[in-house]
Amino acid sequence: MTNHRPVYDRMTDDGAGQILNDTGSTAKTSIPTATDCEQTRRFGDFATFADALDYAAQGRAGFNIYNGRGQLLEALPYRCLREQALDTARRLLGRGLHPGDRVAIIAESDGDFARLFFGCQYAGLVPAPLPLPIAFGGRDSYIATLRGMIAAAEARAVIVPEVIAGWTQEIVGGLELAFGGLPADLLRDPVPDIALPAREPASLSYLQFSSGSTRFPMGVAVTQEAGMANARAIARDGLQVRATGDRCVSWLPLYHDMGLVGFFLTPMTCQLSVDLLPTREFARRPHVWLDLISRNRGTIAYSPSFGYELCARRQAPETLDLSCWRVAGIGGDMIRHHILENFAERFASAGFRAEAFVASYGMAEATLAISFAPLDTGIQTDTIDLRRLETEGAAYPSHDPSLVLRTFVLCGRALPDHEVEIRDTEGKVLADRRVGTVYVRGPSLMRGYYGRDSETHSVLSGDGWLNTGDLGYMLDGQVVITGRAKDLIIINGRNIWPQDLEWSAETAIGSLRSRDVAVFSVETETGENIVALVQCRATNPAERECLREETAGHFRRQHGVDVEVILVPPHTLPQTSSGKLTRARAKAMLLAGQFEPLVSSAA
Query: For the segment 540-587, what is each residue's pLDDT rounded down to a tens digit?
Result: 889 999 999 999 999 999 888 999 999 999 988 988 756 678 888 888
Report the pLDDT value the prediction gives residue 589, as an integer from 0 to 100. Answer: 87
370: confidence class by pLDDT, cuts 50, 70, 90: very high
Which residues have C-beta within 8 Å of that of residue 592, sequence separation ≥ 6? none
Report the pLDDT value the prediction gives residue 215, as an integer from 0 to 100. Answer: 57
> What distances in angstroms separate CA 443 from CA 153, 374, 458, 466, 568, one per listed residue?
23, 21, 19, 12, 45
- Least confident segment among 117-126, 242-251, 494-503: 494-503
* HSE, side-chain direction, 13 A CA sphere, residue 545: 8
Which whole number is the average pLDDT over 257-275?
Answer: 97
d(CA 101, CA 157): 8
Report the pLDDT value the prediction gives residue 528, as an integer from 0 to 100. Answer: 79
Give tens-digit pLDDT for 190-239.
Answer: 999 999 999 999 999 999 997 554 557 899 999 999 999 999 999 999 99
Give tens-digit pLDDT for 14-54.
Answer: 333 343 333 333 344 579 999 999 999 999 999 999 999 99
- Strands in 436-441's sheet, in edge-to-edge order, are 419-423, 436-441, 466-475, 478-484
Q: Is pLDDT of 433 > 70? A: yes
Report the pLDDT value the prediction gives residue 210, as an integer from 0 to 100. Answer: 73
SS3 label, residue 437? strand
Beta strand 448-449 with 466-475 is: unpaired
Report the pLDDT value the prediction gives residue 137, as an integer from 0 to 100. Answer: 52
Beta strand 327-330 with 72-77 is: unpaired
Q: Is pLDDT of 162 > 70? A: yes
Q: Is pLDDT of 485 > 50? A: yes
537: confidence class by pLDDT, cuts 50, 70, 90: very high
Q: Is pLDDT of 523 > 50? A: yes
- Least confident segment among 23-27, 93-97, 370-374, 437-441: 23-27
Report the pLDDT value the prediction gives residue 577, as an integer from 0 to 100. Answer: 58
Report the pLDDT value the prediction gives residue 17, as an integer from 0 to 100. Answer: 39
Element housing 115 (H / E): helix 111-123
Which residues have C-beta within 8 Å of that of residue 536, sequence separation ≥ 6? 511, 544, 547, 567, 568, 569, 570, 598
Beta strand 274-276 with 248-250 is: parallel
- The CATH superfamily label for domain 380-486 reads Luciferase; Domain 3 (2.30.38.10)
Report the pLDDT value the prediction gives residue 8, as an integer from 0 to 100. Answer: 54
- Encoded amino acid at 401, one letter: P
CATH class held by domain 491-591 = alpha beta
Report the pLDDT value the prediction gives residue 121, as an integer from 0 to 100. Answer: 98
Report the pLDDT value the prediction gives residue 524, as an integer from 0 to 100. Answer: 76
Q: Is pLDDT of 93 > 60? A: yes
Q: Is pLDDT of 91 > 90? A: yes
Most distant CA pair in the chain: distance in Å? 80
Report the pLDDT value the prediction gives residue 204, as an integer from 0 to 100. Answer: 98
**Torsion from C-alpha of 168, 151, 135, 507, nearest 10 degrees:** 180
Q: Please name which of 378, 288, 293 lies closest in space to residue 340, comparing C-alpha atoms.
A: 378
Report the pLDDT value the prediction gives residue 134, as an integer from 0 to 100. Answer: 65
- Quote the pTM value: 0.87
Q: Is pLDDT of 602 > 60? A: no
Q: Please name which of 205, 334, 306, 343 lies closest in space to residue 264, comparing C-alpha atoms.
A: 205
Dihedral of CA 31/35/38/40: which sign? Answer: positive
Which whole number is the average pLDDT over 75-87?
Answer: 98
Share of the chain above pLDDT 90, in %: 76
Which whole number is the average pLDDT over 412-422?
Answer: 98
601: confidence class by pLDDT, cuts 50, 70, 90: low
CATH number of 2-250: 3.40.50.12780
d(CA 403, CA 497): 17
4: confidence class by pLDDT, cuts 50, 70, 90: very low
Report the pLDDT value the prediction gives residue 603, as an integer from 0 to 100. Answer: 47
CA 276 from chain center: how many Å?
14
Give tens-digit pLDDT for 281-290.
Answer: 998 899 999 9
d(CA 194, CA 48): 20
Answer for the pair 437, 465: CB distance below 8 angstroms, yes or no: no
514: confidence class by pLDDT, cuts 50, 70, 90: confident
Q: Check residue 236 and report its DSSP letter.
A: I
Report the pLDDT value the prediction gives residue 275, as an integer from 0 to 100. Answer: 98
Report the pLDDT value the prediction gives residue 497, as an integer from 0 to 100. Answer: 84
Over the chain, what is the mean pLDDT?
Answer: 91
Q: What percentage of the chain's residues is helix, strand, coil (to nearest 5)?
A: 35, 25, 40
Answer for the pair 530, 491: CB distance below 8 angstroms, yes or no: yes
d(CA 171, CA 118): 23
**Domain residue spans in the chain?**
2-250, 380-486, 491-591
